[in-house]
A and B are shown apart, each in its own frame.
Chain A
Amino acid sequence: MILVTTDAIPGREIERVIGLVRGNTVRSAPASEDLHAWFENVVGGEIPEYTRLLAQCREQALDRVVADARAKGADAVVALRFVSCEIAEGAAEILAYGTAVKLKG
């Protein structure tokens, strides 16, 4: 499965557009990590607990985009985007979406 953020794939021709594919997830860190992150927030710098939390969200949302695209018979997803928001205190949502396409050849 080819995933690109561009609208086209250089060297490949799009045979047809299948449509929107998307995947989202909401994850939270355990309370112990939240508390540890609070202390790190006080002193500044990277908060590894939250870096990890968002990375986990990103990978899971991406996998769900790929699963959605596969289920629809796509070869690639173009114009891939990520959006995120905080849905609750300490919980992060990431939505990944793009356009599933069938490639020629």
Chain B
Amino acid sequence: MNGTERPPSADDLAAMAYVDGELAPVERAAFEARLEREPALVREVAAQQRLAVLARSVAPREPMDLEWRRIESSMEHRVGAPLGWTLLAVGAGGLAAWCAFEVGAAPIGIVPKLLTAAIAAGFLLLLLLALRARSRTKPFDPYDDVLR
């Protein structure tokens, strides 16, 4: 502990006890009722749970971990990986745009064009909804940091 750390508050201690399963049934029910209406307390529980999972899954580093870090920090990797992803994204995006243009310009009726547009719009909408849900639940997922 260094000088800048604050002592744990009553809520911190309660969150730790909750995550560790140390609350009596009545205390647990009361704490869960508070969780329903206090987002800050939910975040505290998520932070404590993340620590508990990390503490449990700490394993000695393997030589390969160090080599992976060296590879990832090498110039080839730092330049090559973003370049590779950019080329893939540009290629896929360009291909999708070209397909959309070709479908739009194709000598087919309006109905197939509308149906194709509906499929593309539905796909995008569902993808955006999944992304939104994931981005909102990710901060409360304590398993994201588990490595092995």
Is residue A19 contacting chain B, with contact meaning CB distance below 8 A?
no
- Among B53, B85, B144, B146, the most chain A Cβ lie within 10 Å of the Cβ of B146
Partner of B53, one of A1, A63, A67: A63
Contacts of A59 in B (CB 8 A): 53, 56-57, 143, 146
Closest chain B residue to A46, Cβ basis: B64
B21 touches A60 (CB 8 A): no
Within 8 A of B (CB), among A14-33: 27, 32
How many interface residues does B have (CB within 8 Å)? 13
Docked complex Cα distance between A66 and B56 (Å): 13
Judged by a CB distance under 8 angstroms, whether A52 is at the interface is yes
Check if A55 is an interface residue, CB within 8 A of chain B.
yes
Contacts known (A55-B57, A59-B56, A63-B53); A32 close to B144, Cβ less than 8 A: no
Task: Closest A residue to B54 by CB, please name it.
Answer: A59
Which residues of chain A are near B146, meaning CB under 8 Å?
52, 55-56, 59
Which chain B residues border A90 with CB–CB below 8 Å?
none
Kindly provide the distance from the CB of A21 to the nearest chain B CB, expressed in whole angstroms.
13
Q: Which residues of A are found within 8 Å of B53, using beta-carbon distances?
A: 59, 63
Is B148 part of the contact surface with A, judged by Cβ < 8 Å? yes
Known contacts A55-B147, A59-B146; A48/B21 CB under 8 A = no
Since A48-B147, A59-B146 are in contact, a sample of 11 more A-B pairs with Cβ atoms closer than 8 Å, ordered by chain A residue number, is A51-B148, A52-B148, A55-B57, A55-B147, A56-B143, A56-B146, A59-B53, A59-B56, A63-B53, A66-B21, A67-B21
27 CB contacts below 8 A, A to B, read A1-B21, A27-B143, A32-B85, A35-B88, A46-B64, A48-B68, A48-B147, A48-B148, A51-B147, A51-B148, A52-B146, A52-B147, A52-B148, A55-B57, A55-B146, A55-B147, A55-B148, A56-B146, A59-B53, A59-B56, A59-B57, A59-B143, A60-B143, A63-B53, A66-B21, A67-B21, A70-B21
